[in-house]
Amino acid sequence: MSQQHLAALAFQSAQTYGDEIAMRVQRDGRWQSTTYREMGDAVRAIARGLLALGLQPGDRVGIFAENRPEWALVDFAILAAGGVSVPIYATNTQTQAAYIVDETAMTAIFTGRQDNYDKVHALAARAPALRHIIALDDQVVLDDRATPAGEASRHLSALPGLGASAACDAELDARLAAAAPGDLATIVYTSGTTGEPKGVMLTHANIYHQFKALAGHFHVGPGDRSVCLLPLSHVYERSWSYYLFQCGATNHYLANPREIIAALADVRPTVMVSVPRLYEKIYAAAIHGLSQGSGLKRKLFHWSIDVGRRYQYALKDGRPVGPALALRHKLADRLVLGKVRAVVGGPKNFFSAGGAPLSQSIEEFFFAAGLLVCEGYGLTETSPMVTFNSPRAFKFGTVGKPIIDCEVKIDDNGEILVKSPSLSQGYYRKQEATAAVFRDGWFHTGDVGEFDADGFLRITDRIKDLIITSGGSNVAPQKIETVYAKDHFIEQFITIGDRRKFISALIVPNFEALAAYALKHGIAYHSHAELVAHPDIQAFYRQRVEALSSELAPYERVKAFTLLPAPFAQESGELTPSLKVRRRVVAEKYAPQIEAMYPAD
């Protein structure tokens, strides 16, 4: 069995770490644990069951489920049996799931909750290759009717019994012996912000290169704890989870991302990856709480953050801290900084952020509290990492330096091009789309960026998202949105202005925070629509928008905005499964509101 094969990883870690805890999940109010040895045994038993069902090398097998330990177990089992794992976001609609099932000609699929199972069973009638539907949870009620191509559905718990034979054992060993790093491991579908989703093909070697990149920069091992927050159908969380298992750490599975703050306090993770929105929300809540305090409390807060920042930069730069700063830091830590760390479950080796820009002011806020957020950059097509900041080499406001063996260059249009061992083989069954962005060994990312004098990369925007105002100004919407995302009363913010006279925005309020504000100020309302239309609420948001605009250049500042009564949603097509905004869909849906902001255009 190849040493650079993900199935090998599961079995090697089972031998190396034995009774160390690999996975934990909270069920019925209690944490349930799975050791590395138990994980290896379960993977082998499920893989034998797949062989008993007739899985052939190269068969595509779906996983349509929320985050849970079984997700990882069946993923490893699919790979061990020689299959190709195809994740589907648990929040996908039946139509979205059917597209992936059809294009990959899946032969089997694992489902999570009852609604996931029901969607798959309903679409199976027109999926000729789909023979097996396997529910991860014994509580899922199965439909007795067989799929047109195969058999009746079954629960995951039935698979080990199906494969309990010497023949399945021997066949599994033979497939593991034949496994190679260049084998296709997974097809990960991109979100499709500008069109239909594309299946990114990644080999075992692609993902293993990510481990090589992390080694020596991020120290992870037995005793470390991580919270599995992002969907495992996202390559960022999935590659990170593989790395945790290689290193012997413990992964805690969180089915509901809204419970993250409570989970942080409970799990007290030492390492973790997330998208910027988590850090933005924690920062916004802290700043909002401060605004409600006394003048003395605000003064102490800002003093403590300033002391923490100077103390941490002294350590980073190798300068003497000095007794005076050390004493002030001890006091600041007791008054403020320790409380910030407590919100996220105590000290961390590091946080990691990716997937969208993170404001430098937020990075420095956490840094002052002794919490390093290492922002990086990557895409599904790069498995995902291209660059990262690390505890030994970081610069806020950038996404770090290129990983080992990875070449990054900026072309004449400012586009970032990548050549790396982690680079995808292309898009599944989409030759034209592959040829459009994979050219001469380079992947054209569609992102705009620049290197600074120290070799750190800064992302400025997406090529297709750049706004050019009617006055000729080039505006990066993500830069603007990062500024406004820091506000406690703003949940979603979309920049408008292409070929317009000025920048405007569609704003979705943080309705929980806004309801508390309305109650405090005696603002009566019967619906969100009535609330956002209230003159006092309009004035309140105008004041906040104007205050935040001071961080932007005059041509970047929001001159008009519309408050929306409901969040952007995946079900309505406004968000992708990975919660990125489909700007074109939003622009079309809210065209009347947008036009109303430009009456003289």
Residue 299's φ and ψ, nearest 5 degrees, are: -65, -45
Q: What is the pTM of this model?
A: 0.88
CA distance 358 to 373: 10
pLDDT value for 109: 97
pLDDT at position 29: 86
Closest CA to 477 of 504, 446, 508, 451: 504
Provide φ and ψ at 245, rounded to 5°: -70, -35
Among 386-395, 434-443, 462-471, whose mean pLDDT is lowest?
462-471
| Contact criterion met (CB below 8 Å) for 61 and 108 | yes
Residue 290: what pLDDT? 83
At residue 303, what is the residue type?
W
Which pLDDT does position 384 carry in this prediction?
96
pLDDT in tens, 519-528: 999 999 999 9
pLDDT digits (tens, 9 = 90+) for 29-47: 899 999 999 999 999 999 9
Contacts 24+ apart (CB under 8 A), 580-586: 580/191, 580/193, 581/193, 581/492, 581/494, 582/192, 582/193, 582/194, 583/193, 583/465, 583/494, 584/194, 586/494, 586/506
Per-residue confidence (pLDDT) for residue 471, from 0 to 100: 73
Q: Are 273 and 240 in contact (CB under 8 A)?
A: yes
φ and ψ of 372, to 5 deg: -90, 120
Query: Does position 545 have pLDDT exceeding 90, yes or no?
Result: yes
406 secondary structure, DSSP code: -
Report the distance separating Cα 198 and Cα 189, nearest Å: 5
Please state, in angstroms and as integers, the Cα–Cα distance from residue 227 to each residue in 87, 174, 344, 351, following that order: 19, 35, 11, 11
CA-to-CA distance for 88 and 233, rounded, in angstroms? 6
CATH number of the domain located at residue range(s) 6-179 in this protein? 3.40.50.980
What the block records as the tokens of 464 is 């297709």
Whether residue 576 contacts residue 568, with contact meaning beta carbons closer than 8 Å, is answered with no
Q: What is the CATH number of domain 466-596?
A: 3.30.300.30
Q: From the CB of residue 425, how many other CB atoms can be counted at a distance below 10 Å?
A: 16
**Cβ-contact 29, 48 below 8 angstroms:** no
Place of tokens 């199935």: 7
- Give the residue extent of every domain in the chain: 6-179, 466-596
d(CA 204, CA 178): 13
Residue in this structure with the two tokens 């990959």, named with its chain if needed: 104
pLDDT at position 1 is 60
Mean pLDDT taken over the chain:
94
Pairing of the two strands 503-509 and 558-563: parallel
**Is 274 within 8 Å of 353 (Cβ atoms)?**
yes
Please give the span between the terminal C-alpha atoms of the chain, in angstroms, as a whole number. Answer: 66
The secondary element (H helix, E strand) that includes residue 475 is: strand 474-475
pLDDT digits (tens, 9 = 90+) for 159-186: 999 999 999 999 999 999 999 999 999 9
Residue 257 pLDDT = 84
pLDDT at 75 over 90: yes
Q: Both tokens of residue 19?
A: 């009774």
Crossing angle (nearest 10°) for helices 535-548 and 511-520: 120
Distance CA 110, CA 418 (A): 34
Reported residue count of the chain is: 601
Cα 223 to Cα 516: distance, rounded to the nearest angstrom: 41
**CA 585, chain centre distance (Å):** 22
Q: β-strands 373-378, 385-388: how paired?
A: antiparallel
211, two tokens: 């481990």
For residue 169, give both structure tokens.
């054992």
Query: Does residue 398 surpass a pLDDT of 70?
Result: yes
How far is 322 from 306, CA to CA, in rounded Å? 16
Write a three-state SS string for 268-321.
Answer: CCCEEEECHHHHHHHHHHHHHHHHCCCHHHHHHHHHHHHHHHHHHHHHHHCCCC
Lowest mean pLDDT among 68-77, 158-167, 456-465: 456-465
Any residues with CB less than 8 A from the CB of 570 and at least 6 apart, and which? 91, 92, 93, 576, 577, 579
Q: Which of 97, 103, 61 is nearest to 80 (CA)?
A: 61
CA 136, CA 120: separation in Å to the nearest integer?
13
pLDDT at 407: 98
Kindly calculate the radius of gyration of the chain based on its CA atoms and give it in whole angstroms.
Answer: 25
Task: Please report the pLDDT score of residue 2 as a whole number.
Answer: 63
Rounded to whole angstroms, the Cα distance separating 333 from 348 reads: 15
pLDDT reading at 99 higher than 70: yes
* For residue 10, pLDDT beyond 90: yes
Closest to 361 in 3D by CA, of 516, 200, 550: 550
Provide the pLDDT confidence category of residue 308 given band limits of 50, 70 and 90.
Answer: very high
The amino acid at 597? M
DSSP letter at 232 equals T
